[in-house]
Structure formats: structure tokens, C-alpha cells
Structure 1
Amino acid sequence: MTALVDEPPRRGVEHVLPELHIASSTYYRWRRAEKEPCERRRRDIERSERIKESHSESGGNYGLPRVHAVLKREGVHVGRKRVERLMCEAYIAGVSPRRKGFTCRDPKASLAPDLVIRDFTAPAPKRLWVTDLTMISTGEGPLWLSAIRDAISCRVVAWETSARADADLVLTTLEYALAPREDEPGKLIHADHGCQYTSP
């Protein structure tokens, strides 16, 4: 708005406002608020500065709950929603602790026997594959990567990604790995005890 009115080529308020369907009183009230912020806005500016300091003092780790707790300890009476809004406006976010145990063993599943006996060395290629799921954090949420490697060469045989860590992801990866091969039955060992690998 200010660019349209103040910056070259200056079009003037009387030409711009009617085109935008904005009353002149609204425009001048907004301009006055920029120069003389109200009491609430002044408090927001002060609290925003303290929030930035608190976040910085924590090494960039503190999120909404801890920043709000710090302000409360210091006697600053401010609602949690207001702190959340101020943090969003300042693009401040805490570091979430890394979750552990994304995949778990299904207690009801019948497990395949451990033919490897925890020995992950292989006598030749295409005799032992190792596989697992890994979560990759992205701006749009978690992305799951399923990969299969040949134990002797550590070469990735196949991989696939999905927004869900389910049996379909694991099976698709295995299908991609098996598609170009013609191995004799029983020569390739592939086993895992995670629920995605033991589902029927």
C-alpha cells in the first residue's frame, strides 16, 4: 500500500484508495498507527524482543511451552496464544526432540527364524540383503525412506519413499529389488522383525 502511494511514480491517495475500495479514514488511521502504535502493539514489540532473547539464550532450542514458562517465571503476564502469535510473526520455532523407535515389533506377529544369527557378512553378492526404514524430516512433514543394501558390497539394491511407514512401502521396495533379478529360490536371505516386515 505504501509503495503505491509513496514510492515513484507517486499516484496519490485520492487515486489509489477508490481503486482498492478503501476508505480514506481507514488509510489515515493505519498510517497514524504506524507512527504512534497503540499500547497493545507497544507491549507486543517489547514481549517479542524478550521472546527473541529467551530463544537465543537457549541456543535456539526453546519452543512455545518453554518460552512461555520463562516469561511467566519473570512475572510477565501474557497468554500462551499471544506468545505463539508473536513467535510466528518473528519466525521463531523450537527444536523438537528426535523421536525414537519409529518402528516396533508386532507382539502378535509370527517372526521368521534368524537365519543370519546377527552375522551380516556374506560369501557372495545376492546372498544377504539388509534393509530398514528411515524418517527424513521435511517442511511438509515426515518422509519415509525404505532401502535395501547388499551386505557384501553395501550397494543399494533398491529404495522407495512414502509419506507412510507401512508394509506397502516395504513390499514395493522389495519388488523393485527383485524385478531385474532371477535368483534361485532359497539363496537370498531377507528378514526383519519390525511390524512392517512381519505383517501378513
Structure 2
Amino acid sequence: MTCRVLQLARQPYYRWLANPITDAELVEAYRANALFDAHRDDPEFGYRYLVEEARDAGEPMAERTGWRICSQNRLWSVFGKKRGKNGKAGPPVHDDLVERDFTAEAPNRLWLSDITEHSTGEGKLYICAIKDAFSNRIVGYSIDSRMKSRLATTALDSAVARRGDTAGCILHSDRGSQFRSRKFVHALNRHGMVGSIGRVGAAGDNAAMESFFSLLQKNVLDLFSAAEERAGPAPLGHPRTAPHRDPHLDRTDLPPAAPTNRSRPVDPD
């Protein structure tokens, strides 16, 4: 009777009744789920980066489609919206179990982690390193051109694969979004480790890693200066003489690689 009153054919109505969700709506729902998962892992990403993460997860789409879905579901970058004067950082997912005591009685008892940024001639480079407080050795690291949660989880998996038994180990970091992401928390639980996070704006809460990265930056600058001295004066028209050249590390400035024919095995640490 309803179809007769609305002057609709009955066959399309029964087809819709048997399958009320169209294929296009189902595809868009899967895309929205992929964008939502990427936004929850990295809330600082805009829709372009979220589209790339969705593509890696197996849900390809155009950037315009990703913008429309993100706009409808209010998936905005935390850096894209202006905050008020009372804006606060995200809540910590762990307590501060270290309290600036960067000592350990045995290996794999306390690890420290942080992320640093290096400017190169090819763009920015992000490094996440994990250090054992007992031996002051770097037990794991990862390098990427983008600062995502995967940067921290890759470094953690690298450290666990190198050290082995890490159950009960405390991993201390700052309150960066990468260390508060869902992927990183799940990685800690998977390896049986305990997370620890310092306070906001307190560099001393992770001073051991801050000093390591400061030394690393100094060594990079020394390496660049040594390469410049070995190269001597640059010929006319060489990029090194350009006035607008960025005075940071570049691939062309690195010294030649060391020979690989070593006479003894190398310590993996």
C-alpha cells in the first residue's frame, strides 16, 4: 500500500529490503574506520597523512574523499585548531616511576627513550633511540622522515629483539604523542614492560636522554666540519659555495664508508 501511495515499484523496494546497505556505503564505512584508527594513533596528522595511513592499512582512497570523511566525522588535527590560553597537553597514560633517578642495578631494568630531529639537505630526519640506564648503551633505535607512532614502536621492537628477556623492564619517556599512542601502549603490554612518563615542560624528567641527543648533535656537527676540511675549498659553482645553502648535514658531505672486511665480530650493542 505504501508503494502504491508513493507511486513506487515494488521490486526496487524488495531489493532494498533484502540489502539495505549498498556497496558504496560499506566501502565508505571501511574507509572511515581506517581513518579513525589512524587519527587515534597519530592525532596530530591532517587528512592527507591520514589518507596515507589508510592506504597502508589496505583502504585506498582519493585525498578529496578522505577530506570529506574526516570533515563529516570531525577527525581534525590537534595542531590545526587554535587552543585557548588554558590549553593543556594530553593526559599521561603512565605514572612517573623514575622521578629523575636514572640508575639501574642490572641490565634491562630501566630503559630511557626520546625522539630528536635532524635537519638535512633532503629534509627533516627523526630518530627515536632507546638507552639502557645500566650500561648507557643504545639498545634500539629507528629512523624515519616522519614522526609517527610507528617510529617509537619500531625502536621498541628493535630493542626487545636485541636484548631478549625484557619482562618487567621500565621504559621512561616524555609525554610525546608517540609514546602515548595506542600502538606504543599495546607494544609495551605485548613485551611485558612497564611504561613511565615524565611531566609536561620538565626537561629534567628525561635528562639522561636529552644529554645523549645533545652529544649526538655535537658529533654530527663535528663530522660535518671534518668533511668540509677534508674536501678543501669548493670549486666555483659548487653547491657548497651557494649563499642560500642550508649549513646542515647532507649526504654529499659524509666521509667515505668504512671498509666492511672486519677481522672480528662486531658487538650488536
Same fold flag (TM > 0.5): no
Looking at CA atoms only, which structure, 1 or 2, has the larger radius of gyration? 1
TM-score w.r.t. length of structure 2: 0.33
